[in-house]
Amino acid sequence: MLTSLGRTFAVDGVELAWDRVGTSADGVPLVLCHGFSGSSHDFALHVEHLARSREVVVVDHRGHGASTKLGRLDGYSIDRLAADLMALIAEEIGGPVDLLGHSMGGAMSIAVTLARPDLVRSLILMDTSGWSFRPDDPARAAMFEGFFAGYDPAGGLPDLSAMEDPEDALIAERTPAEWQQLKEQRSAAFDPWAMKALGIELFAAQADRARLAAIACPVTVVVGEHDHPFVGQAA
C-alpha cells in the first residue's frame, strides 16, 4: 500500500506532493485525481495493482494531504487546482495522459481536458458531476448549503460526524485498519479555507452542456450503487 509521496512540484506559490509508480507499455501514464477533502491516499489500496501494467501518478491537490495549505479563501478554486494539475502534467509527467477524477477531482479533470486537450488521451469520471454537486435530496442539499454558508474556517476543521453517509459503515467494514487510520490523518490535514472556498464553488456550479459537449477524447463514467445521484440536474 502506498503510504507517502516522494516528490514535490512547485507551481503558483504552492508545493504539490506527488509520486509516480510503475511503467506503461505505451508510455501513457494514468493520473489519479482525488476528491474534495481527500488525498492521494484515497487510491492507496489500488496503486500497487494498477502499477503492475501502468505508470500510475498520484497527487495531493493544493490544500489537501501533504501539499501546501494557503490559509485563505482566494487561494482556492477548481480552476486553480486544474491549473496546478496542467502544469504538473506538462512540466513533470509528460502528456498526453489517461486522467481519472473522483468527485471534485472529476470536475478538475473536466476543466483540464477542456483547457488542454493535448494533455489528455482519455478521461475517466468517478462519482462526479458536470455541474453542481447539489444532491437531488432536498433535505441533504439544504444541510450542505447551510453548513458551507455558516462555516468559519478560522475556527479550524468542523466535526462532520452528523453528515456521515450510510455507506461509510460499509467502507469501514471492507478496508484495512491501517488504511482507515492514514485516511483520518490525511483528512485532518485538509485546509479549512479550502473546505469553505471549494465547497461553496462546487455547490454553486451551473450546468453548461455545450461546454461538456466540447470534450472530444474518449470518456468513461463510473457510478457506484450507493453513490448519491445528481441526475435531477440533467433532466
Q: For the domain that residue 140 is a member of, what is the CATH number?
A: 3.40.50.1820
- Tell me whether residue 232 is in a domain: no
- Tell me whether residue 15 is in a domain: yes
Question: How does pLDDT run along the chain (235 residues), one tens digit per residue?
Answer: 777 899 999 999 999 999 999 998 899 999 999 999 999 999 999 999 999 999 999 999 999 999 999 999 999 999 999 999 999 999 999 989 999 999 999 999 999 999 999 999 999 999 887 656 666 677 777 777 778 888 899 999 887 666 666 667 777 788 888 878 887 787 888 999 999 999 888 887 776 778 889 999 999 999 877 676 655 555 4
- Tell me whether residue 234 is in a domain: no
- Tell me whether residue 233 is in a domain: no
Q: How far apart are CA 113 and CA 120, in angstroms?
A: 6
- Tell me whether residue 235 is in a domain: no
Q: How far apart are CA 196 and CA 219, in angstroms?
A: 30
- Tell me whether residue 58 is in a domain: yes
- Tell me whether residue 211 is in a domain: yes
Contact 114, 85 (CB under 8 A): no
Give the count of domains, the chain.
1
Please tell me the pTM assigned to this model.
0.88
Handedness of CA 90, 92, 195, 166 (dihedral sign): positive
- Nearest Cα neighbor of 192 from 231, 156, 141, 144 is 156
- Tell me whether residue 1 is in a domain: no
Residues of the domain holding 41: 7-225
